[in-house]
Amino acid sequence: MKENYYKKGIKIFWLDEAEPEYSFYDFDNYRYYLGPNVQIGNIYPKCYAQTFYEGMEKEGQKNILNLLRCAWAGSQKYGALVWSGDIHSSFESMRNQFSAGLNMAIAGIPWWTTDIGGFHGGNPGDPAFREIFVRWFQYGTFCPVMRLHGDREPHTAPLSEVRGGRCHSGGPNEVWSYGEEVYDICKKYMLIRENLKPYISDAMTAAHEKGTPVISPMFYHFPEEGECWNSSDEYMFGDKLLIAPVMYSGLTSRTVYLPAGKKWFDVWSRKEYQGGQVLNVDCSIDLIPVFSCDENICKYFA
C-alpha cells in the first residue's frame, strides 16, 4: 500500500470489506492465529484501521482519517470514519441505520455515515424510491458525515471488452438525477449543511476533547426523562438540535417529544414551544422535523 498508493500521493483510504467478508458465516469453524473467530474475530476491523493509521503516522502524517466499512471497540483511536456497508435501499433499511448509528455513537465512535438512499437497488426514476432518497438525504444532513453513494438501477452497459471495461456500472446517482422536485429539496439541505458548519465544528470539537457523541440517543442529554429513554425515532445532533427523521412511506405528519425544562423552537416556523410535551408536526416531503433549544441556531435554516 505504501509503495503503490501512499508514495504516489494518496493520503486518505476507502477501506472496504473490513469485517472481513466471508462467503459462509460459519464462525464456529473459523480459526485465526490468535484463536477461534467467536473469541477474537471482531478485532479484525480494529486491527485493519490500526495498520493504516500507524503506517501513515510513521510517515509523519497528521489528522489521519480513513473511511471503513466496519469497526469495533477501539477503532476510534485509529482515525476510523465508519459507514454502515452495502445496505438495501428501503425504509426498513433506513430505520436499521438510524439505530446502528446511535449505537455506534454511544459506543464511543463519533465518525458515522451511511450510503444516502442505501446501496443496493433503487431506480432514480421510480417515484417510490425518490421518496426514500429524499427522506434519507434529509436524515443524512444531520449525521456526522453526509455522503451520497449507491449502486443505482438500471446498470449501464460495459464500456469495452477488456479489463475493467467489461464491468457494468451503476446508474446515475447525482442529486440532479432524481427530477427537479428532488433536486430542489437536495439543494435546500446541502445549503443548510453548509450553513451549519460552525455548529458542526463545535460538535466535532466536543467529540475530540470530551468524547461527546456528535449524534446521540435522547437519553444521553436528558437522562432524567423517562420518555427520552423510550424514544426510538428521534435523536440529538450536537447538544442543541433535536432531529425527528421521517422513516416511513407516505407520512405528512409525525409526533415529536420535546424534553422538559427547555424552550424549543421549530427551526422552520420559528414557533416556540415549552418542553415536556408531545407535538404532532408537519413533515411534508420537503421537511424533516427539527427543533432547537437555542433560538440563535434557527438562523442557519433561513
Please report the domains of the chain, with CATH numbers, ordered by start residue.
6-199 (3.20.20.80), 212-301 (2.60.40.1180)
- Tens of pLDDT, residues 21-61: 788 888 888 898 999 989 998 899 999 999 999 999 999 99
Q: Which three cell numbers stand for residue 44?
A: 479484525
Whether the model pTM is above 0.85 = yes
Residue type, 73: A
- Tens of pLDDT, residues 179-194: 999 999 999 999 999 9
Provide the pLDDT for residue 121. 87
Active site residue ranges: 16, 19, 86
pLDDT at 292 exceeding the cut of 90: yes
Provide the pLDDT for residue 152. 95
- Tens of pLDDT, residues 120-173: 989 999 999 999 999 999 999 999 999 999 999 999 889 899 998 898 888 999
Provide the pLDDT for residue 41. 87
